[in-house]
Chains A and B, each alone.
Chain A
């Protein structure tokens, strides 16, 4: 009997295995949009200084003298005293509903608040005060991939904003353990672009009392004008009287412009379809010189001498991935030509402190290149910090400011190949 026991056991064991099932679980986090309607009256009365807040969803960053301004997407602006970069301290929080961008000249902060442009007096940083407001100048915009617009009833503005609140929903589903190419029909780009940002040293030609914005900024100061790019136009505000900005002119440009970078007497606009170059010799009326077309997604542009550095990022598009850094020769601004493209992993913001180029690779980290040899940039990678999330970066020469999902960092960049962390302001809750 014992002789047969083992073969029987063998057969039993074997047959019990035939019911094996693969188990594959897909986890995904999806943005969910819920429409909300907000009365302008309510928005306009709620701009005020508050006690310092923690960073929750940081957006763009702006630097002016010893002060840092970090946008809290759609909520307002954190004012930070950065006189000691190793120990930045929160000074106050300015509550500005629908804020995404800012610019500072002298003591005046210009910020958008949905439809309006608000000017605030920063003489007392603990308690900034609203000094004036240009109403209904921006008719629509976008935060985190969700558009808002000014509502109309029978063609007349009804003084409400149609916006969306965004929730992040985590789902887990069982899958076939295979790649689901049929779902490519639903494909879209990774739309976190223009909202989480900050940026690089902009070289404004005018007075040095302007702050520094960056490659992801929609606002730029030049001469006596504040330039703002909307989705379809470039709007100029006259700030000859800094406390009283006035709506000055509107220039129609291409669709989906995301960033503006003034350099010497030109404006470089980054859009989802390419890069526009405007001649700004007469600051009151910029003129289009050229439109450099390339792939379908375009993130910021920075310029040094005759070379524009453009990063392209798609969230792995239908036609494959296109994640690259383009070097474009703009010595003849009327006909820019591509010098070379370099493959990157997931490029976001960038900043140049020639010959050093800082490039954010999203969740891959931060890359530092020496770009002296424009045809071999990829062979001159000075360093690659991988243990972090990097969205955008501003180089201030000796110091480097960087924002990512998990916080705001400052580095000592005196040796670009060997960045040394000076301080970090953590984000309260990392939301991706």
Chain B
């Protein structure tokens, strides 16, 4: 968690230092994406009540996010990312510092790096009876492909790694006095989006 936090701070710091040296004409940028968070989970079936077996499931969650920021120079955008991630048992709203950086110079298509780091909040989440879910730190770095001319609206495709932490208090079962769960959603996020 501390590592994620320092990453978050680092991005903020980099953003401001980069902002100072910018001589390019700054303008507002929006990058809105829609996609899925895909992953697997391996867990102990029947969790501790005899006959334990490892079991593996696939996971897919919907995710939308919108990055709003400033076009600092020809290549770099910095801003704030707001998102909605519908995990199976939690709806989290990450608010993150984000960057978008073009690493190639094609006139029709460019590869770009994308990175967001922040905190996923549980504001809109509703819990099942007895559960209490809290959000946690989030980090989401990756690469993408931007299609479209420079200085015009572009279409994007990105593949990123997303790590989202969460915590849940769970209802007590027989003879239990404490029961909680630390969650780490490790997902690959594939998204399509538009940027202007």
Contacts and interface: CB of A to CB of B under 8 A. Distances in A.
A179 B182 contact: no
A315 B172 contact: yes
B40 A177 contact: no
Contact of A316 (B43, B48, B171, B185): B171
A206 B26 CA distance: 85
Interface stretch (A7-15, A68-76, A367-375): A7-15
Counting chain A CB atoms within 10 Å of each CB, the highest count among B87, B131, B171, B183 belongs to B171
Contacts of A14: 143, 159, 188
A87 interface: no
Interface of A: 6-7, 9-10, 13-14, 17-33, 145, 168, 171, 173-181, 183, 186-188, 190-192, 315-316, 320-321, 432
A176 B57 contact: yes
Given A20-B187, A21-B186, A316-B172, A177 B88 contact: yes
13 contacts: A7-B111, A10-B143, A22-B184, A26-B181, A29-B178, A176-B57, A177-B88, A177-B183, A178-B89, A187-B174, A188-B172, A192-B177, A316-B129
B74 interface: no
Interface string B16-51: 000000000000000000000011111110011100
A407 B62 CA distance: 47
Interface of A (DSSP majority class)? mixed
Contacts of A22: 39-41, 59, 183-187
A85 to B, nearest CB: 31
Contacts of A432: 177-178
B5 interface: no
B185 A177 contact: yes
A175 B54 CA distance: 10
B43 A175 contact: yes
Interface in B157-196: 159-161, 170-188
Contacts of B172: 188, 190, 315-316
A174 B159 CA distance: 27
Contacts of B175: 30-33, 145, 188, 191
Contacts of A188: 172-175
Given A6-B104, A7-B111, A13-B159, A178 B88 contact: yes
A23 B186 contact: yes
B44 A175 contact: yes
Contact of A175 (B47, B161, B188): B47
Contacts of B39: 20-22
Closest 7 CB pairs of A and B: A316-B130, A17-B188, A29-B178, A188-B174, A316-B171, A14-B159, A28-B179
Nearest to B170: A26
Given A21-B42, A176-B57, 13 more contacts: A6-B111, A14-B188, A17-B161, A21-B40, A26-B47, A28-B180, A31-B177, A171-B48, A177-B43, A178-B88, A186-B174, A187-B174, A320-B129
B178 A173 contact: no
Contacts of B40: 19-22
B128 interface: yes
Nearest to B127: A179
B10 interface: no
Counting chain B CB atoms within 10 Å of each CB, the highest count among A13, A26, A174, A315 belongs to A26
A17 B175 CA distance: 40
Interface string B118-132: 000000000011110
Nearest to B145: A10
A180 B49 CA distance: 13
A168 B130 CA distance: 22
B55 to A, nearest CB: 8
Given A176-B41, A186-B49, A26 B180 contact: yes
